Amino acid sequence: MRNKVYILSVSALLVLSGCKSLGKLTSKDRSSNNKVAGSRSSMSRGFLDNLAVLPGEVKLAGVKVTAPKVEPANTKKPTYDAALSLPNKYANLLGVAPTELTNMLLFSQLEKWYGTQYCFGGSTDSCIDCSSFTQVILRDVYNVKIPRNSQQQFDACTKIETKNLKEGDLVFFNTVSASMIITHVGVYVCNNKFAHASTSKGVTISDLSEKYYTKAFRGAGRFINP
């Protein structure tokens, strides 16, 4: 009987104490809770105030903790120096080391004309033929005047052997028949390569050892003093 009375008393106390948490808060309860909430809020602000993220480190409540650095994204496009890129471009086209290319005036002119469309009789920036191209290169790079068409250039130059070819010499071809009539001309650069205004590719660089040009080759000549 005593045990039953004891259990009923304890149950009553638990119910009464539990009801207070479900009822309205008294002013005292609010005050007390506000203090707790304020204390928590203060702690949160203090935590945030003491948290400073710096490059390479984190400061937390006066304690320095090393953090990994995050590199900024590189949004800048790479820039290139045209004077430096020309030797690399033409060294690749000519099959030589960039250090072997010393006449940058020649390569700047080749770059100006490279890819320009071919047209018979053309002599402009948008359309040029083979003999006009050689005429312009010798004039603007070597300050040498030569005749206008390829046959006249062949007739006026000093003939040389292919083994003696040097930069600025001219190479002559007949691309339409087996005769010695000259129908095409280019400027020798180096390493068996020459620049010319091709009917199919425009201004480009080709190799004298290519089957087409070996068959069409008719000789080499020089206007520039060695």
Which pLDDT score is estimated for 65?
A: 52
Active site residue 127: no
Domain ranges in the chain with CATH number 3.90.1720.10: 82-222
Spacing of C-alpha 189 from chain mean position: 27
Judge whether 157 counts as a catalytic residue.
no
In this prediction, residue 155 carries a pLDDT of 98
223 with 143: CB under 8 angstroms?
no
Which pLDDT score, from 0 to 100, does residue 29 have?
46
pLDDT number for residue 62: 56
Q: Residue 194 phi/psi, 5° resolution?
A: -140, 150
- Provide the residue-wise pLDDT of the chain in tens; the chain has 226 residues: 445 444 444 444 443 444 333 334 444 444 444 444 444 444 444 444 444 444 444 445 555 555 554 444 444 444 445 556 889 999 999 999 999 999 999 999 999 999 999 999 999 999 999 999 999 999 999 999 999 999 999 999 999 999 999 999 999 999 999 899 999 999 999 999 999 999 999 999 999 999 999 999 999 999 998 7
130 catalytic residue (yes or no): yes
Tell me which of 19, 119, 130, 157 is the catalytic residue. 130
> Angle, nearest 10°, between helix axes 104-113 and 82-94?
80
- Which CATH number is 82-222's, of 3.40.250.10, 3.40.390.10, 3.90.1720.10, 3.40.190.10? 3.90.1720.10
What phi, psi does 76 have (nearest 5°)?
Answer: -80, 140
Angstrom CA distances, 129 to 75, 109, 199, 219, stand at: 43, 16, 8, 19
Catalytic residue among 19, 119, 157, 184, which? 184
Please tell me the predicted confidence (pLDDT) of residue 82. Answer: 56
**Please, is 52 exposed, middle or buried when counting C-beta atoms within 10 Å of its C-beta (0-12, 13-18, 19+)?**
exposed
pLDDT of res. 75: 45
Amino acid present at 140: D
